[in-house]
Structure 1
């Protein structure tokens, strides 16, 4: 298990503040118990000279006899469990109200988490929004600060009734002024502005062959720290007051994604809160790689690490490989 990455599936836990608290709560006792429950190796044998009667002699004289006996110095009842601690590092964090893929580094695999940070890999989220209200923390269960409508305002009913036939009035009253088309236009504007920012933070000249080659390989990344950058956003489901977005981004926090839903609501001339944030991909780990809570045991984690190890090495080498014209990394 030492030296590799694995990922698990986390569920929201509002009573705790961060994913680190949830990991500390679990404490991975299932790993310790799995290792310690394994069959212990045969104890070492040591030669001891034991005092006893001489075999085949009727005399009561005692002699020393060389005998092989097990050494008890390493017995669990003497020295305790074989494994009492295990180094585990947490990758890109999830707050207490988010769920989805969470990457963990086990043992020396914690150093691979640094490589993942340096690769500036994108992550995918599904973000669920709810139209018609606003809260202080952009969450559905936050303190309510405003309510709004997302349909045709009632004050226009009399105006419509004067100039329009009754059937047209009823049709317009049953429609919403927040439409899928308006939402898609707003999402396109958001994606375009963030893609321009991505090029700016990558310090690349779009007129060069280097920038073109990196764009073809999908490796345009910010050189250093940057604000949240959205490389793709689209609406998966729209049924007012609910809507579901798919967001591909980097350098984000879950609170920023909730604030994004709030800002989208303002652009739609209404308000919106976020009811769910779920990470479906973190770099090269997806929901198919994640282990559910029922599979948090030693053998499942070992199998997951062994299955992911070749892909992790290949993807990290590809992502960290310098682009055309970039200086090579210094040799130690």
Structure 2
């Protein structure tokens, strides 16, 4: 899902694609966002368009201080990731999953930040790249707010843009000017292989994959 204040990749299914969306959801794949922030004020909904709650100073904040907070966030979330993955990290299975990048909660969990870094910093503005699981965009806005508090200031979120949703990136997205039958068909075929590869890798699907059913229906 993606709320109305966010932008970027939004995946839709057509026909058997609706079943594929469920299958991909069960893979619990990482989403990636660029998130903009502005130090110096707080609002009631954590966004820059919300009702102003307070203004604060921010001159004491440096990029180094921000990156230290981000490192703490990532470290705390890595522990949560291992806990909700229910994997014994001393086993060969855990090692093989780690090598393949498949350590992830395969069930419900709170939002988990798997990676976060500062893309640019120019007071009072900053931009983060956030890799996450089971998030909402409002959760990311609140995260910006909490970063401001940790830095003894305040902050609002100015932008949430999803640049990757599992196997889909902004390069796969169709701008509004290409919302036509031919472009949609081309997009489906272009993404078919990587969707099938991910389902096979994560869920072990083969000939029973909905993509094979789609091939049969369209042959």
CA contact under 8 A between 2:27 and 2:106: conserved in structure 1?
no
* Deviations, residues 107-127 of structure 1 (Å, cap 9, x unaligned): 121000111111000000000
Structure 1 stretches of at least 4 aligned residues deviating more than 2 Å after TM superposition: none
Larger helix fraction of residues? 2
Q: What does the per-residue CA deviation read over 1:190-217, in whole Å, with 9 as the maximum and x for residues that have no partner? A: 0010011000000011111111110111
- Is 1:270 aligned to residue 153 of structure 2? yes
TM-score calculated relative to the size of structure 1? 0.61
- Report the secondary structure of 1:103's partner residue: coil
Counterpart pick for 1:240 among 123, 131, 145: 123
Q: How does 1:100-179 map to 2 (within 5 A)?
A: 100-151=8-59, 177-179=60-62
Q: Which runs of 5+ in 2 are unaligned?
A: 206-219
SS at match of 1:104: coil
Alignment of 1:206-217 (within 5 A): 206-217=89-100
Task: Give 1:296-315 correspondences, 5 Å limit.
Answer: 296-315=179-198
Structure 1 gaps, min length 5: 1-92, 152-176, 323-332
Counterpart-to-counterpart distance in 2, 1:321 and 1:185: 39
TM-score (norm 2): 0.92
Distance across 1 between alignment mates of 2:189 and 2:79: 39
Is the counterpart of residue 98 in structure 1 residue 10 in structure 2?
no
The two structures, once aligned, show a CA RMSD in angstroms of: 0.9
| Offset from partner CA, 1:203-244 (integer Å, 9 cap, x none) | 011111111110111000113100000110000000010000
> Which digits, 9 at most, give the CA deviation of each residue in 1:311-331, with x for residues without a partner?
211121112239xxxxxxxxx
Structure number with greater CO (CA < 8 Å, separation at least 6) is: 2
In the aligned structure 2, how far is the partner of 1:318 from the partner of 1:287?
A: 22
Counterpart-to-counterpart distance in 2, 1:192 and 1:119: 23
| Aligned with residue 218 of structure 1, among 96, 101, 109 | 101
Choose 1 or 2 for highest CA Rg: 1
Q: Aligned partners of 1:137, 1:198: CA distance in 2, in Å? A: 27
1:254 aligns with 2:137: yes
